[in-house]
Structure formats: structure tokens, C-alpha cells
Amino acid sequence: MKRFLHLLAGVSIWISFVGVGGAFVYANLPFGHAVCVLEPSANRWMGLGIGALMVLVSLLHLFTFAPRRKKTKTISFDTEGGIVSISVNAVCDFIQKLGDEFESVKNIDPKLHSEKDMVSIELNLKVRTGTRIPELSAQLQNRVRESVREGLGIVDVHEIKINISEIVGNPPPPIELDGEKDPDESTHQR
């Protein structure tokens, strides 16, 4: 409702601005003063200028503030049956859901970069404390490459880049062996 009222107010202001500007222009034309309600100004050029400016500002407002339809970005590739196009958002959602398969991944924010016949994938990760990042990276890269190839049909994945943006959580508690402290812990405390 609020959006509708905002639109209604914008349209009414725009119409009144165009009307007043048009009246200024019409009143200052040589034939306009007899019919128009507004008195022609002493300086016709100033009145014409003000009216024309009001009309131009109204048109500028119409073209710049009108809602625009977003163009959906897609990735297209050839298959035996023809061309397949998948939206970039759909591919990102697909990859994001793969993160649920990895316990140490808290969040995946995928970005796709498509070049002529190849796709590059950038994964921004938040991982849990204690994660072995090299192992996770290799497993995740393989899983994403395999899933995108088999699940979506995108064969040409150029690279999968992994960025660790945050390590979250508390470190695991030290392990006690038969009532003794962890030997690694005793070397760290002095």
C-alpha cells in the first residue's frame, strides 16, 4: 500500500509539473495569452524558459526514476539437443546448497565469471574453527566441479577459486590423555 501511495504521489506531482510548465510555455507564445488562465509575463523569454525547463525536468524524472526491468544474466552452452541457458542466480543457488554437505563450511557465497566458452567460479567461504583448509578446499573444488558438470551440464569449468573470508566459532577444548594434559599444550605454556 505504501508503495502504491508513493507511486500515486509521484505521478500526480509529475502531471502537475508538466501541466504548469506547459501552461507557462503556452501562455508565453504569441497566440497563447488569449486562451490561457495565466497572465503572460513581462518577459516572454523568461516564461518560455521556465515552462520549458519544467517540462524537461518532468521528462527527465520520467525516464530516470521509472522502474526498470532487470536483465537476467544467463550462462548458455551447447548440448546434443540444442542450446541450454541457465540463470547465474540459479547456478549460484545450486552451488550454495552444496555447502550443506560439508560440516566445516558455515556459509558459501559463490560468484560466477563467464568468459567465451568457460566458466570460472569464485567461492567466498566462512568456515568453522579447526577446519583443515587445504583438505576442505580440494574436496570442495572437486565436489563443485563434479556437481556443476553432472547436475547442470556445464562442462567447461575453467577454475574454482576459494577465498576464506572468516573462520568462526571457538577453538576446540584441549584433549586430556589419562588425566594428563595434552603434551602439545604444555609446550605452549611457560
Over residues 74-82, the mean pLDDT reads: 82
Rounded-to-integer distance, Cα 62 and Cα 134, Å: 54
Residues 141-179: tens digit of each pLDDT: 999 999 998 998 888 888 999 999 999 888 767 777 665
CA distance to 47, 49, 50, per residue, from 43 (Å): 7, 10, 11
Q: Which residues on adjacent β-strands are paired with residue 75?
A: 86
Where are the domains positioned within the chain?
Answer: 2-65, 74-168
Q: For residue 185, is pLDDT > 60?
A: no
Homologous superfamily of domain range 74-168: Cation efflux protein, cytoplasmic domain (3.30.70.1350)
Q: What is the CA radius of gyration of the chain?
A: 32
Share of the chain above pLDDT 90, in %: 29
